[in-house]
Amino acid sequence: MVLAPLFATTMCTFMFPVLLFLAAVKLWEIYCLSSSDPGSGFPLPPGSMGLPFLGETLQMVLQRRRFLQMKRRKYGFIYRTHLFGKPTVRVMGAENVRQILLGEHKLVSAQWPSSVRTILGAGCLSSLHNAEEHKRKKKVILKAFSREAFQHYVPVIQEEVRGAVDRWLQNGACVLVYPELKRLMFRIAMRILLGFESYRINGEDERQLGEAFEEMIRNLFSLPIDVPFSGLYKGLKARNVIHAKIEENIRAKISSQNTHAKYKDALQLLIDHSEKNGEQVNMQELKESATELLFGGHETTASAATSLVTYLGLHQDVLQKVRKELQSQELLCSNNQDRLIDLDILGRLKYIACVIKETLRLSPPVPGGFRVALKTFEIHGYQIPKGWNVLYSICDTHDVAEIFTDKEEFNPDRFMSSYLEDFSRFQYIPFGGGARTCVGKEFANLVLKIFTMEIAKGCDWQLLNGPPTMKTSPTVYPVDNLPTKFTLFNGKV
């Protein structure tokens, strides 16, 4: 007789909350799906909307690639979810991604999560919705990525990379590659994209800005809740530190009006464009654009360069091929260690270009891109409702691309084939595609080519922990920071 009341009490204590939770999840699912278009004639993609209000954001932030791979196995190339406060459809595969990327301004528009837009700002290139405004601003920034400008960038990049390699060799012990490369690429971006002179980047400024950038990037993808100690609050606080330093540089540029500079950096071009059109310089917009340039110009290249060190360290046969190519161009000789290179020489390094392509295929720094549906449309038999976010996947599209054989193998030779050049437009998209193709694509390739050349001819290295575990937040990086021992290369191939 005593057991009956005890059983009833247990059921009320434990089962009722569980049933209440399951009911809440079901109601949340119904609520999220209520924004679908009943007149579409196509069903919503398969998937789930996760927990009430939180959706599946926490799972994706914590598990990243493992979470995304699990979703792909369960639901296929198109599925629905709820991320960063909005119902979302995730898309992968060449044909599906092609429809999204070529549908810019017609079917979709670029729209990053609320936290990204809040931290980076509405004035940066990636946040602009108006097609003409985006095209105008992109055209101005592209002047900083012209061949003429690149000629001036090469010696600056080479100087910074050589300085970093020398420090690693002098260290003699363990070097944490990923933090080192973030510092290196940050200095390069500061000098080339924002026009900071090397003598103006003192150690304290570099440390403060670097720490602020780390904090901002760490909280870039967070829940859109701006309260003390939240991710968004921390990200905005760090962003304000960066803006203050950038504003100093902008005011210095405006007051100096250096018309004899060898080249004009992207920030100077934006200032000149405003003055040429008789517009008042919009300080906030310039700070946002500069912050975006710094983020795009160093975070992604640091990720890609770290992957290059990893793959070349694990595949000595590929590193030897790189050195043979350098030797064929007389770039490996000891008496040519101080030789300055130019774009023509870099253009002849075809195999190194393939090594970079293969690295970006296996480990694209940015895993995908966000869009928002401008109207309800159909893709592969499913409806994408108006107002829903669309997340196209770069890493998964590479994983499922039919054009690549032995996908898990690191094989740069695959890119020596003209077949891939002709048919891989949307099966290989490390820089995105369409109207929103990464504006710094060629700059990133330039930096990575010089970096690969300098480390291959300057040193040997050993990955102390072997193949690293990789995470994404928001770019791909090794969990252990890739501890590595560098030694001087003996010059023998």
Does residue 474 have a cis peptide bond before it, meaning omega lies within 30 degrees of 0?
A: yes
**Residue indicated by tokens 């990379």:** 161
Residue 295: C-alpha distances to residues 149, 290, 352, 411 (Å): 20, 9, 25, 29
**What CATH number does domain 40-488 carry, 2.60.120.620, 3.40.50.300, 1.10.630.10, 3.90.245.10?**
1.10.630.10
CA distance 287 to 328: 45
The closest of 166, 211, 176 to 459, measured between CA atoms, is: 166
Specify which residues 369 forms β-bridges with: 392
Question: What are the domain boundaries of the chain?
Answer: 40-488
Pick from 163, 169, 291: nearest CA to 238:
291
Distance CA 175, CA 183 (A): 13
Q: Rounded to an integer, what distance in angstroms lies between the CA atom of residue 231 and that of residue 474?
A: 14
Residue numbers belonging to the annotated binding site for heme = 438
Binding site as annotated, residues: 438
Q: Beta strands 470-472 and 476-478: pairing type?
A: antiparallel
Strands (E), 84-213: 86-91, 108-110, 174-176
Q: Report the 10 Å Cβ neighbour count for 10.
A: 10
Cα–Cα distance, 147 to 153 (Å, whole number): 10
Going from the C-alpha of 41 to that of each of 36, 76, 259, 383, 430, the distances in angstroms are 11, 21, 61, 8, 34
Distance separating alpha carbons of residues 83 and 63, to the nearest angstrom: 14
What's the gap between Cα 5 and its chain centre?
A: 59
| Cβ(134)–Cβ(125) below 8 Å | yes
What are the distances in angstroms from CA 412 to CA 115, 317, 376, 395, 409?
A: 37, 11, 41, 17, 9
**What is the maximum alpha-carbon separation in the chain?**
96
Whether 208 and 183 have beta carbons less than 8 Å apart is answered as no
Please give the helix or strand (H or E) that residue 187 lies within, else none: helix 177-192
Cβ-proximal residues to 285 (8 Å cutoff; 6+ apart), any chain: 121, 123
Identify whether the C-beta of residue 321 lies closer than 8 Å to the C-beta of residue 350: no
* Cα–Cα distance for residue pair 373/88, rounded to 1 Å: 10
DSSP assignment letter at 295:
I
| Residue-level pLDDT at 199 | 47
Per-residue pLDDT of the chain (493 residues; tens, 9 = 90+): 555 665 566 656 666 676 766 676 677 677 677 778 888 889 999 998 888 878 888 888 777 778 888 899 999 999 999 988 889 999 999 999 999 999 988 999 887 778 888 888 876 777 767 777 778 878 878 888 888 889 889 999 999 999 999 999 998 789 999 999 999 998 898 888 888 765 455 666 777 888 888 888 888 888 788 888 888 899 999 999 989 888 888 888 877 766 556 667 878 877 887 777 767 777 888 888 888 888 877 889 999 999 999 999 999 999 999 999 999 998 886 555 566 788 999 999 999 999 999 999 999 998 888 899 999 999 999 999 999 999 999 999 999 998 998 999 999 999 987 666 656 679 999 998 888 888 889 999 999 999 999 999 999 999 999 999 988 877 889 999 999 999 999 877 7
Q: How far is CA 203 from CA 183, 200, 206, 210, 296, in A?
A: 11, 9, 5, 10, 22
H helices of 11-110, where? 16-33, 57-63, 65-75, 94-101
User: Hey, what's the torsion of the CAs at 475, 54, 213, 230, to 10 degrees?
Assistant: -160
What's residue 419's pLDDT? 62
372 - beta bridge partners?
109, 389
**Mutual angle of helices 316-328 and 350-362, in 10-degree steps:** 150
pLDDT of residue 252: 82
φ and ψ of 264, to 5 deg: -110, 125
From 140, 109, 143, select the one nearest 126 (Cα to Cα): 109
> Looking at residue 250, what is its pLDDT?
84
Contacts of 250 (CB under 8 A, 6+ apart): 267, 271, 281, 283, 286, 287, 290
Q: How far is Cα 68 from Cα 472, in angstroms, rounded to an integer? A: 11
Residue among 72, 85, 71, 77 nearest 28 (CA): 85
SS3 175: strand
pLDDT one-digit tens code per residue, 340-359: 788 999 999 999 999 999 99
